[in-house]
């Protein structure tokens, strides 16, 4: 006689694959996949619209495993439904160069929509996906033809809800009315430290109702209850839905289910043998019966769904050819064909104006010029738009018009940034998000995820140094620029004036393989005169702004607001070259001949000057050089007094050069 658990043979395939893979790797988290298998069975076999033969189908539903430590749940689902993820790939779980790393990683296994692992960021990405879907649909759908029409499903656990980012993004998701976002909370009451009731006693239902979500409770092991809850979630178009699923972690393991023992460690060979008996599962490890594969296979259903959408899109192309072409361009991530030409013309126009303004204002001017060219821009700020100047005349809030192009994120730096990652991952948009540079610290881990996932997200940071003045050390960034520059695959630009600002924005928009941080000043910065060759070289990250008078003996390297200071020092010196280095990462990507032409290796007398942490610059000046920068936190005072107090002055640069060339 079979038991109810044994009757769930289709779902049990997830359980056995999870415990087998974790055991073979001797590392991983079997409990969550085993506990959520019944939820996954219903969602993936009955509701999720996807095509394993074309994982990038534009109108697929998006699935996010926010509790990414349960990655074998995701890998098992991808394998069973027919993605190009073999049983051998599952056997290589957590091994070097495998397609099945310890947490879901974008670009490894087909069908993984985002990298998850840092708890809470997956649900934040999911909110970004849902925002992108709603906005793109509003921009392109017609009353008779819906070419953007899909759901975002997200699994999450206790850890995701304990992380503060979940409050930031779920609060905003309710405010924005993201009705096509459906989240399933694995309410198993267990974390690595044990039963969570001792440190997580929130009333999750009331919490999400207060956010403006629809909340449904369901038995996470009752297929009918999960099915009914999902249907109700799909029917609610004005609110996101949280389905609170009561589950047993590690369900099926007779001695470890419901305990922290199965959360983050293999079950052990003996316990796996007992679990197989409980599940009524015969056969060798990683062995799945043919009828189970047949029950899971989604290729035919997925191909049919995509073909049906293709027919709709063909009608759309016939009736709305311009809109169809624009949508395809945006989904491909291509800029308009004439963007580079127009951007270069604006650079020339900016150069001719020769304005002395703050680079935050120059950034706004650039947005005003580029915004009308780029329908894919989706901007936003963490409640500081009037200070970081991210609003331009063509901005329209998505809160008031779903087809808009600007998001008021409120004071949610971390959530904003992680949502932007989801927007970029969805496709069809280039998101930019903004705050003061100091408050990048709140968003730091999401910035790292932008870089790790190689997403075209533009991080705008203003009030870039002690130059912001009277707000004092809590608001004056010191180590933040070095932190950004130390992030692999992130390009960090700190432009010196209007021209470098436009060049920085152009670089960020044209870059497809990663994010960019744009760092702008609060205070006005003097315009620097350049010729056409210098403008071209500025896009290479560093260039000779002022050549030495006479024989070259020393080099001054500076960025941003300190370029003006370096140029004032240059006026008092002979034999000195000024190098502007707005983006060290782009400069280091140039060939060795260009780098040598800017920073000749035989010139050892080098001075770097920047009103930020000094340590970053030693790699460019060498042990024989000098760095004029910050080694402490700031103070509260007017900017001019602070520069004097901390010794970041023209006199200090002149003295440093003279000492090195004496």
Q: For 368-398, what is each residue's pLDDT tens digit?
A: 999 999 999 999 999 999 999 999 999 999 9
Answer for the pair 159, 190: CB distance below 8 angstroms, yes or no: no
Contacts of 291 (CB under 8 A, 6+ apart): none
The 10s digit of each residue's pLDDT in 147-199 is 999 999 999 999 999 999 999 999 999 999 999 999 999 999 999 999 999 99
CA angle 440, 620, 455 (to 5 degrees): 40
109: tokens are 């296994």
To the question of whether residue 338 is assigned a binding role by annotation, the answer is: no
Residues 499-510: what's their mean pLDDT?
98
DSSP notation for 131-150 = HHHHHHHHHH--SS--SS--
Q: Is 609 helix (H, G, I), strand (E, B) or coil?
A: strand
Rounded CA separation 398/135 (Å): 7
pLDDT beyond 80 at 578: yes
Answer for the pair 470, 315: CB distance below 8 angstroms, yes or no: no
Rounded CA separation 297/82 (Å): 6
283: tokens are 């056969």
To the question of whether residue 117 is assigned a binding role by annotation, the answer is: yes
pLDDT beyond 80 at 602: yes
Q: pLDDT-based confidence at 234, cuts 50/70/90?
A: very high
Answer for the pair 301, 23: CB distance below 8 angstroms, yes or no: no
Domains of the chain: 5-303 (3.40.50.970), 338-519 (3.40.50.970), 541-661 (3.40.50.920)
To the question of whether residue 269 is assigned a binding role by annotation, the answer is: no
Left if phi > 0, otherwise alpha if psi is -120 to 50, otherwise beta: which for 298?
alpha
To the question of whether residue 190 is assigned a binding role by annotation, the answer is: yes
| pLDDT of the residue at 1 | 75
Choose the catalytic residue: 271, 413, 500, 585: 413
Rounded CA separation 424/175 (Å): 21
Percent of the chain with pLDDT over 70: 100
| pLDDT of the residue at 480 | 98
Answer for the pair 456, 430: CB distance below 8 angstroms, yes or no: yes
Rounded CA separation 321/333 (Å): 18
Q: Is 657 helix (H, G, I), strand (E, B) or coil?
A: helix
Rounded CA separation 63/235 (Å): 18
Q: Which helix (H) or strand (E) element contains residue 305?
A: helix 299-319
pLDDT beyond 80 at 536: yes
633: tokens are 């936190």
8: tokens are 């769930």
To the question of whether residue 448 is assigned a binding role by annotation, the answer is: no
C-alpha count within 13 angstroms, C-beta hemisphere, residue 552: 18
| pLDDT of the residue at 301 | 98
Answer for the pair 32, 22: CB distance below 8 angstroms, yes or no: no
H-helix segments, 556-647:
562-570, 584-588, 592-598, 618-621, 639-645
* Beta bridge mates, 377: 430
> Rounded to 5 degrees, what are φ and ψ at 310?
-60, -40
Q: Which helix (H) or strand (E) element contains residue 62?
A: strand 62-65
644: tokens are 């004097």
Per the document, the length of the chain is: 662
Residues 66-75: what's their mean pLDDT?
98
To the question of whether residue 29 is assigned a binding role by annotation, the answer is: yes
DSSP-derived secondary structure letter, 26: T
> Rounded to 5 degrees, what are φ and ψ at 183?
-115, 145
Mean model confidence pLDDT for the chain: 98
To the question of whether residue 475 is assigned a binding role by annotation, the answer is: yes
291: tokens are 């009828």
Rounded CA separation 356/443 (Å): 31
Q: Is 191 helix (H, G, I), strand (E, B) or coil?
A: strand
Rounded CA separation 54/325 (Å): 21
| pLDDT of the residue at 2 | 87
Answer for the pair 351, 499: CB distance below 8 angstroms, yes or no: yes
Contacts of 235 (CB under 8 A, 6+ apart): none
To the question of whether residue 158 is assigned a binding role by annotation, the answer is: yes
Answer for the pair 160, 66: CB distance below 8 angstroms, yes or no: yes
To the question of whether residue 159 is assigned a binding role by annotation, the answer is: yes
413 catalytic residue (yes or no): yes
Rounded CA separation 440/442 (Å): 5
DSSP notation for 615-634 = GGGHHHH-TTSEEEEESS--
* Beta bridge mates, 576: 554
Residues 456-481: what's their mean pLDDT?
97
Sign of CA dihedral 288, 294, 300, 306: negative
342: tokens are 């127009």
| pLDDT of the residue at 524 | 97
Q: Where are the beta strands (DSSP E) in 181-296?
A: 181-187, 190-191, 194-195, 214-219, 241-246
């Amino acid at each position: 006689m079979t038991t109810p658990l044994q009757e769930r043979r289709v779902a049990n395939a997830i359980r056995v694959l999870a415990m087998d893979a974790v055991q073979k790797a001797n590392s991983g988290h079997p409990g969550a996949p085993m506990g959520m298998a019944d939820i996954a069975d219903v969602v993936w076999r009955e509701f999720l619209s996807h095509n394993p033969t074309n994982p990038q189908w534009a109108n697929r539903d998006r699935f996010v495993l926010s509790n990414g430590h349960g990655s074998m749940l995701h890998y098992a689902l991808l394998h069973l439904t027919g993605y190009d993820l073999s049983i051998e790939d599952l056997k290589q779980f957590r091994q070097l160069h495998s397609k099945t790393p310890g947490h879901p990683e974008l670009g490894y296994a087909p069908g993984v929509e985002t990298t998850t692992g840092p708890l809470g960021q997956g649900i934040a990405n999911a909110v970004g996906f849902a925002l992108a879907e709603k906005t793109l649909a509003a921009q392109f759908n017609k009353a008779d033809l819906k070419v953007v029409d899909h759901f975002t499903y997200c699994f999450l656990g206790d850890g995701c809800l304990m992380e503060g980012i979940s409050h930031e993004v779920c609060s905003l998701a309710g405010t924005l009315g993201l009705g096509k976002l459906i989240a399933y909370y694995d309410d198993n009451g267990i974390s690595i430290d044990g039963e969570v009731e001792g440190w997580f006693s929130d009333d999750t239902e009331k919490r999400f109702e207060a956010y403006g979500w629809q909340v449904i409770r369901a038995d996470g092991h009752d297929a009918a209850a999960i099915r009914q809850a999902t249907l109700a979630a799909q029917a609610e178009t004005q609110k996101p839905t949280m389905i609170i699923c009561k589950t047993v972690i590690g369900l099926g393991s007779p001695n470890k289910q419901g305990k922290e023992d199965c959360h983050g460690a293999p079950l052990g060979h003996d316990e796996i043998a007992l679990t197989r008996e409980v599940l009524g599962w015969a056969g060798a490890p990683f062995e799945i019966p043919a009828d189970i594969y047949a029950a899971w296979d989604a290729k035919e259903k997925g191909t049919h769904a995509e073909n049906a959408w293709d027919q709709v899109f063909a009608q759309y192309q016939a009736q709305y050819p311009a809109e169809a072409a624009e949508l395809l361009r945006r989904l491909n991530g291509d800029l308009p064909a004439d963007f580079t030409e127009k951007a270069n013309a604006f650079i020339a126009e900016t150069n001719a104006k020769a304005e002395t303004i703050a680079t935050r204002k120059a950034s706004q001017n650039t947005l005003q010029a580029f915004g009308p060219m780029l329908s894919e821009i989706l901007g936003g700020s963490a409640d500081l738009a009037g200070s970081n100047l991210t609003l331009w005349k063509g901005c329209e809030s998505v809160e008031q018009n779903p087809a808009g192009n600007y998001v008021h994120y409120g004071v949610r730096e971390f959530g904003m940034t992680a949502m932007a990652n989801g927007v970029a991952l969805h496709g069809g948009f280039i998101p930019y998000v903004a705050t003061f540079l100091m408050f990048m610290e709140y968003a730091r881990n999401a910035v790292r995820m932008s870089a790790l996932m190689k997403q075209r997200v533009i991080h705008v940071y203003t009030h870039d140094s002690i130059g912001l003045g009277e707000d004092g050390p809590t608001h004056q960034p010191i180590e933040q620029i070095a932190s950004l520059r130390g992030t692999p695959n992130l390009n960090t630009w700190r432009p010196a004036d209007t021209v470098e600002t436009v060049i920085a924005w152009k670089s960020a928009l044209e870059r497809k393989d990663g994010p960019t941080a744009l760092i702008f000043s609060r205070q006005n910065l003097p315009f620097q005169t350049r010729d056409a060759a210098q403008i071209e070289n500025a896009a290479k990250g560093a260039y000779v702004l002022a050549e030495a008078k006479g024989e070259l003996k020393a080099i001054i390297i500076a960025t941003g607001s300190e370029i003006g200071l370096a140029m004032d020092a240059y006026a008092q010196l002979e034999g000195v070259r000024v190098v502007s280095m707005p983006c060290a990462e782009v400069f280091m990507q140039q060939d060795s001949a260009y780098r040598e032409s800017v920073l000749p290796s035989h010139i050892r007398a080098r001075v770097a000057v920047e009103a930020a942490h000094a340590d970053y610059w030693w790699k460019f000046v060498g042990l024989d050089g000098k760095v004029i920068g910050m080694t402490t936190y700031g103070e509260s005072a007017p900017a001019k007094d602070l520069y004097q107090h901390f010794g970041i002055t023209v006199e200090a640069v002149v003295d440093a050069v003279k000492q090195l060339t004496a």
